[in-house]
Amino acid sequence: MPGQAVSGPSARDPGLQPERTSLAWQRTVVSVALASVVLALGQLRAGVPVVAVAAAALAALAVAPGVLRPRRGRGLVEQRGDAGTAPRTAAAATAPREVWPLLVRTTGTVAALGLLGAVATLAHVVRA
């Protein structure tokens, strides 16, 4: 199209995609924490305190690393370089943050919540 600059692979602008991805994982962690609290309260009412304590611990485990970690930047990409200097390439402009710990922790908490839900269901069936 006229008036648009042609951009090559080196001029890739990640836009807001890393930010959206980071926010999606954060929403997943919050959902796990809330579901764990609901499971804990339900198990307290049902008289299964062991599962209730495990669910409360899972809620704390899900939320604590996100609250306690230092804020280095927003999203999954950190900007590199000074504000006054322009980077030479797009690859030098941004560097992906280490996301594996977040993904592993989130996947583990989701799996643990599923396991606790199955244990709670089984405990309810056995008691009935």
**pLDDT at residue 58 in the model:** 92
Q: What is the pLDDT of residue 49?
A: 92
pLDDT at 70: 62
Tens-digit pLDDT string for the chain (128 aa): 555 555 555 566 677 887 888 788 888 888 999 999 999 999 999 988 999 999 999 999 888 877 776 665 554 455 555 555 555 555 444 545 566 777 888 888 999 999 999 999 998 888 87
- How far is Cα 99 from Cα 103, in angstroms, rounded to an integer? 6
pLDDT for res 72:
59
At residue 103, the pLDDT reads: 80
pTM: 0.65
Q: What is the DSSP string of the chain?
A: -TTPPP--GGG---TTHHHHHHHHHHHHHHHHHHHHHHHHHHHHHHT-HHHHHHHHHHHHHHHHHHHHS----STTEEE-S-TTS--SSHHHHEEE---HHHHHHHHHHHHHHHHHHHHHHHHHHHH-
Per-residue pLDDT at 41: 95
Residue ranges of domains in the chain: 19-66+99-128
pLDDT of residue 21: 81
